[in-house]
A and B are shown apart, each in its own frame.
Chain A
Amino acid sequence: MSMLKNEAGNVSLEFMAVVVALLIPLTFIAGAVSSVVKTNLAQESAARAGARAFVVAPTNQLAYLHARAVIATVLSDSGIQSSQVESTISCSQKPCFMRGGVVTVTINRDFTVPVLGHWLNRHVLVTGSQSVIINGGNS
């Protein structure tokens, strides 16, 4: 208590110290978190749309084409190029279009998080995936 009574600091100096030491790094961290969240949401949406496009396609070959086109479109809506991601379409059965088969679309991105400008870039693997069952479950 006596320590608080005798407190005689320089408010502006303390404020500057707090801003430099704490608030500026926190601002960068908040920006980094928001960019990771944004790319994650975009990839999840693209994976979902791609998987749905895959299962409603008429043929196996068209399914891959449709899914990749839809993934590219959804990603580009969020400002992500197809070349920046690695998208894989995997099936639980061969050929894919079999009753009860599960199609999984996974989109990975080696995302560079700008923590402090370009000085301290960090690489984060962001993944979005969606699985859709084809023509009913195993009955």
Chain B
Amino acid sequence: MVLGLGLSIAALMVVTLAVNISSVWVARHTLDSVADGCALAAAQAVDAPAIYRHGVTHVVPLDQNLARRYVANYLAASDVRSRFTNLTVRSVRVDKGRVRVEVQALAPLPFGYLMGRLRPVIVSAASAEDIAG
């Protein structure tokens, strides 16, 4: 009886863990797509005054504030928020012509009630660059 009970508990723990990890894995992949969409939107935030000042070079300069606004517009216009819990943009960083967007959301766990308040946060990042020519 002890062996049966022990094996049952161990097997249930393994299945619980496997289902939770699969769920986090799928959510992480979906969040990668969201980060990708955010980065593509932000990469179109061309800093027009900088182009007028310095001309068009190989790398198109991007505007940080405009990039943030484009990311917000993208999240508002698309239906991605409904697919996650507490989806937020961690950062939008512009370095010359390159933008890096980090997003985060709470991981969906089918057996999350076993973990109490310890609900993991998944983070995903994507970069994009606008190249002239």
A residues with CB within 8 A of B: 4, 7, 9, 11, 14-15, 17-18, 22-23, 26, 29-30, 33-34, 37, 40-41, 44-45, 47-48, 51-52, 55, 92, 100, 102, 104, 128-133, 135-139
Taking CB atoms, residues of chain A closer than 8 Å to B1 are 7, 9, 14
Residues of B within 8 A of A37 (CB): 22, 25-26
- Which residues in window 7-24 of B have CB below 8 A to A? 7-8, 11, 14-15, 18-19, 22
Contact B2 A4 (CB under 8 A): yes
With known contacts A14-B4, A17-B4, A26–B29 Cβ distance under 8 A: no
Q: How far is the CB of B109 from chain A (nearest CB, A)?
A: 14
Which of A11, A15, A44, A131 is B80 in contact with, Cβ under 8 Å? A131
Instruction: Evaluate contact between A133 and B70: CB separation under 8 angstroms.
Output: yes
Which A residues are in CB contact (< 8 Å) with B69? 137, 139
CA distance A40 to B24 in the complex (A): 13
Please pick, from A4, A14, A34, A48, the residue contacting B3 in the complex, using a CB distance under 8 A: A14
B26 touches A40 (CB 8 A): yes
Known contacts A30-B18, A100-B73, A136-B44; decide if A47 and B3 are in contact (CB<8 Å): no
Set of chain B residues within 8 Å of A133, measured between Cβ atoms: 37, 40-41, 44, 70, 73-74, 77-78
A52 to B3, CA, bound (A): 54
Tell me the interface secondary structure of chain B in the complex. Answer: helix
B129: CB under 8 A from chain A?
no
* Given contact pairs A18-B4, A33-B18, A131 touches B11 in the complex (Cβ within 8 A): no
A34–B22 CB distance below 8 A: yes
Pick the contact of A9 from B3, B14, B40, B66 — CB < 8 Å? Answer: B3
Q: Is the CB of B4 within 8 A of A41?
A: no
Residues of B within 8 A of A104 (CB): 78-79
| Cα of A23 to Cα of B41 in the assembled complex, Å | 48
